[in-house]
Chains A and B, each alone.
Chain A
Amino acid sequence: MIQLILILAFGALCLSSLYFLARRTPRAEGGSGPLVEARQALQALRSGLLPPELIARIFARADLEYVLSEVPENVRPLFMEERKKIALSWVNQVRRQILLLRRFYLGSARSYARLSFRTEIALALDFAALLFACRALQVALYVRGPFAVPGMVETTAAVAARVCKVYEESLAFLSPAQLGALADRSAGAARL
């Protein structure tokens, strides 16, 4: 009798372990949510935040020179305030998207992306440098205004573009159709 109870208890333990392992599997493979989020972050960076022409417009010295030379003095504070607001918004959004990419990198990248060890190390360094650069740029923009640190802006944008390129290459094996299917699956899972 005692043997039977022990066997049943062992069986129940095995079944519950299997159940929990089965529940855990999708998460261990990364799920599709983080992947879709990472692709969206890439898209936001590529098309919304990093186009050189937009960055050039936000930090355009020509606009500052125009305002300083041809515009009534009482408008200058508004100009500086508005450009500072936009510049800070730009760096905040870049930082937010980079954090999303890093979350994907730390949590699920190995399940999807074909990253070599060397690429992983390079990415880790780029992430650290980029997040530091974003913070430093936020402080500099806040303290010195949007036209005082063009070098920092260029460097931050260049490193962010490099991170995007590495990610795009490592996720290039996913076709848009596969990505759409993953997004649907992710939305379905979120509804459940």
Chain B
Amino acid sequence: MDVQQAAEDLRRRTLSEIPRSLDRLIYLASMRDYNTGLYYHDGLASRFTQEVACEALADCHREAFRDLVGSPLRGLVCQMEGYMDSTHTSPGEFLTAWKKLEPYRVAVPVETDPLSAEFLFSSFKIALAILEARLRPAPAAPDA
């Protein structure tokens, strides 16, 4: 029950300010310690307990992941475009970095089923290619 309350608190106070699932996924992944897999959020831990806060963050992380997996390709492209704009880096740099580093691979929750994760990675790859093709259109074929 506490975990549900903490998750609701997190949704109301923090996640409601982050409208896109992609941004929420990245934000929640950033709250996780890479060495232990545990999530930390001081504000939430002070209102509940560290364990409850950790579980609530994990729940919300899984929820953001499910939302993204369920999102149509068109929606995913829009989300990525919005996220790219929000980073204030140049689109070219952003696309190059994301294609090379594939940061989304470390942003999925633990114990995610492998096929869903692979599907999301594949969709990200397609979305990046779409954004890149819009940014740098292929040269038109010369007229015969």
A residues lining the B interface (CB < 8 Å): 44, 47-49, 53-54, 57-58, 60, 62-63, 66-67, 70-75, 78-79, 82-83, 85-86, 89-90, 93
Contacts and interface: CB of A to CB of B under 8 A. Distances in A.
Q: Which 3 A-B pairs have the closest CB atoms?
A: A48-B113, A72-B133, A63-B73
Contacts of B69: 54, 57
Given A66-B73, A70-B74, 5 more contacts: A79-B73, A85-B122, A89-B115, A89-B118, A93-B115
Interface stretch (B20-28, B39-47, B85-93, B124-132): B124-132
B72 A72 contact: no
A75 B133 contact: yes
Contact of A72 (B115, B122, B130): B130
Interface of B: 69-70, 72-74, 113-116, 118-119, 122-123, 125-126, 129-130, 133-134, 137-138
B96 to A, nearest CB: 17
A181 B113 CA distance: 24
Main secondary structure of the interface of A (DSSP, over half): helix
Nearest to A72: B133
Contacts of A54: 69, 115-116, 119
B70 A57 contact: yes
Nearest to B76: A63
A75 to B, nearest CB: 5
A86 B115 CA distance: 8
A34 B84 CA distance: 48
Main secondary structure of the interface of B (DSSP, over half): helix
A74 B133 contact: yes
Contact of B115 (A60, A75, A82, A90): A90
Nearest to A79: B126
20 contacts: A48-B114, A49-B113, A54-B69, A54-B119, A60-B72, A62-B74, A66-B73, A66-B74, A72-B133, A74-B138, A75-B126, A75-B130, A78-B125, A78-B126, A79-B129, A82-B122, A83-B122, A85-B122, A86-B119, A86-B122
B113 A44 contact: yes
A78 B130 CA distance: 10
Contacts of A44: 113
Contacts of B114: 48
B113 A47 contact: yes
Contacts of B125: 78, 82
A102 B135 CA distance: 51
A156 to B, nearest CB: 15
A57 B118 CA distance: 13
Contacts of B116: 48, 54
A54 B69 CA distance: 8
A66 B129 CA distance: 14
Nearest to A82: B122
A72 B129 CA distance: 10
